[in-house]
Structure 1
Amino acid sequence: MTLRRIAIIDGHPDPDPARFVHALADRYAEGATKASHEVRRIMVSALEFSLLGSRHDWEGEYIDFDIKRSQVSIRWADHLVFLYPLWLGDMPALLKGFLEQVMRPGFAFEPQTGKGPQKALKGRSALVVVTMGMPALVYRAYYGAHSVKSLERNILKFSGISPVQHMIIGDVEARPGMRDEWLSRLSFLGETGQ
């Protein structure tokens, strides 16, 4: 097994440790550390950053300290793990605001005239873990897993991150007996660096 440098991005906006997404992130980190992978963690709810409100903000040189520190961890990693709950059919607004700040020109991509953007985060893979109240099958079949596909296509692959794997965990509230299985699965994925 190849040892990896892993950045875990816990995108739950509520810092309450009782949130299941935090437990999943913890278990992944424990498995990865046990297997001697190097791990850095980014807990989006603990960061201080402003939201982008204009093109000037997006292209500007000013970057909040916590965003710069997050960029250092993402650039350092060769594997990224994103975890978030599905809220109103998408990622929570705080995670979206974080990604808008982090994945700016000059970091995630380099604009090029006529050729399209140059992908600046090539050589990294990702795992996206999403929890939700609805059954995972309904989210995939009826809704087309649109939030996950959007994150993969419009943010991760746009910046060169590939391959991207997904784990969709449905019925989180209705099937609390499954939590131990999901936690074990995350531990295994951490151990194997997936």
Structure 2
Amino acid sequence: MKVLIIYAHPDKQSLNHSMLEFTTNYLKEKNHEVKVTDLYAEQWKAGIDEDDFLNHEKGSRLYAMRDSGSAYLAGMLSEDIKKEQAKLEWAELIIFQFPMWWYSMPALMKGWIDRVLTQNFAYVSGKEFENAPLAGRKAFILSTVGVPEEMFTKGKLGEIDEVFFPIQHGTFSYAGFKVLPAIIGYSADSRRSNCFEKTTEAIKERIDNIENIKPIY
């Protein structure tokens, strides 16, 4: 399987980076092809602006959605966006790995979504969800949170799939991805936690059974 990992964490000494290395190595060990976009290492530009669309008249009114679609059709997107779109077209499985900050992903990853999932590439009016241009690919979240699992089941923070609903449904599913259950490393900030061991076991199980995992509704 061709696997693309979109990764967002600023520290190479982090738990997340150790998990990224484990996932990449295990995928290769199982004879999968892997590409990684490390957003912090590559100093990804998060914000949409007129420089993204090479056919846009400088200084004129910018309509981000419409202009992204016309630039895509004209082959006039900036090179960094084209590069990432090519990776998505290549991939069969996309893993979005990030620490959960303020109930969501880091800004760089949101910026990757904003800039790369352009109109006519990731969505077309009347062709969303299972009819979207990227339909058929699988995707899932691999994330870490600082609190124990019970805080997202019996605690005040809400169910984890509710927290990630805007990402899993509003982005992944809308763009046609078959969304697999998220893998979450809980108690990531605790030095007494065995978060790495538990999460990497879940990653191994996911990779070993990737063809049999049912998408979430």
Flag whether TM exceeds 0.5 (same fold).
yes
Q: In 2, distance between residues paired with 1:158 and 1:189?
A: 23
Q: In 2, distance between residues paired with 1:34 and 1:193?
A: 15
- Counterpart secondary structure, 2:5: strand
What is the CA-CA distance between 1:187 and the residue it aligns to? 4.0
Q: In 2, distance between residues paired with 1:82 and 1:93?
A: 13
- Aligned position for 2:202: 185
Tell me which amino acid in the other structure corresponds to 1:143.
Answer: G
Q: Kindly tell me: are residues 178 and 116 of structure 1, through their superposed partners in 2, closer, same or farther at Cα, counting changes over 3 Å?
A: closer
Question: What fraction of aligned residue pairs are identical, expressed as a percent?
Answer: 20
Q: Kindly tell me: are residues 164 and 176 of structure 1, through their superposed partners in 2, closer, same or farther at Cα, counting changes over 3 Å?
A: same
Q: In 2, distance between residues paired with 1:5 and 1:132?
A: 27
CA RMSD of aligned residues (A): 2.4
Residue 22 in structure 1 maps to residue 17 in structure 2? yes
Tell me which amino acid in the other structure corresponds to 2:196.
Answer: R
What is the CA-CA distance between 1:121 and the residue it aligns to? 0.9
| Residue pairs, 1:9-88, within 5 angstroms | 9-12=6-9, 14=10, 16-45=11-40, 46-52=42-48, 56-60=63-67, 61=71, 63-88=77-102
Gaps of 5+ in 1: none
What is the CA-CA distance between 1:163 and the residue it aligns to? 3.4
Instruction: Return structure 1 stretches of 4+ with deviation > 4 angstroms.
Output: 115-118, 191-194
Residue 144 in structure 1 maps to residue 159 in structure 2? yes
| Structure number having the greater strand percentage | 1
Larger Rg: 2
Q: In 1, distance between residues paired with 2:184 and 2:37?
A: 20
Tell me which amino acid in the other structure corresponds to 1:31.
Answer: Y
Q: In 1, distance between residues paired with 2:169 and 2:25?
A: 29
Tell me which amino acid in the other structure corresponds to 1:63.
Answer: L
2:189 to 166, 173, 177: 173
What is the CA-CA distance between 1:55 and the residue it aligns to? 5.8
What is the CA-CA distance between 1:52 and the residue it aligns to? 2.1
Gaps of 5+ in 2: 50-60, 212-217
Q: Which has the higher contact order (CA 8 A, sep 6+)?
A: 1
